[in-house]
Chains A and B, each alone.
Chain A
Amino acid sequence: MSFETPAVIASIFMMSLSVLGLVLNGRSAQPPKDRTITITIEDSTGARARTVTHSDRGVDELKRVVDRLLTQPS
Chain B
Amino acid sequence: MFPEQILTDRLRLDRHDVAVDALEFYEHAGASGSDTVAEECEFLSWRPHDHPKESHDVLAGFTEAWDERGSATYAVFPREGEPDAGEFAGNTGLHLDWDTRVGTLGIWLRKPFWGRGYSGERARALAELAFRRLDLDLLAVTVFPGNEKSVRAIEKYVERMGGRREGRIRNQVVPDGEDPRDVLRFSVSQAEWRDAVCEESHAEFVEELDG
Partners in one complex: no
Q: A residues near B, CB below 8 A?
A: none
Q: Which B residues lie at the A interface, using CB under 8 A?
A: none
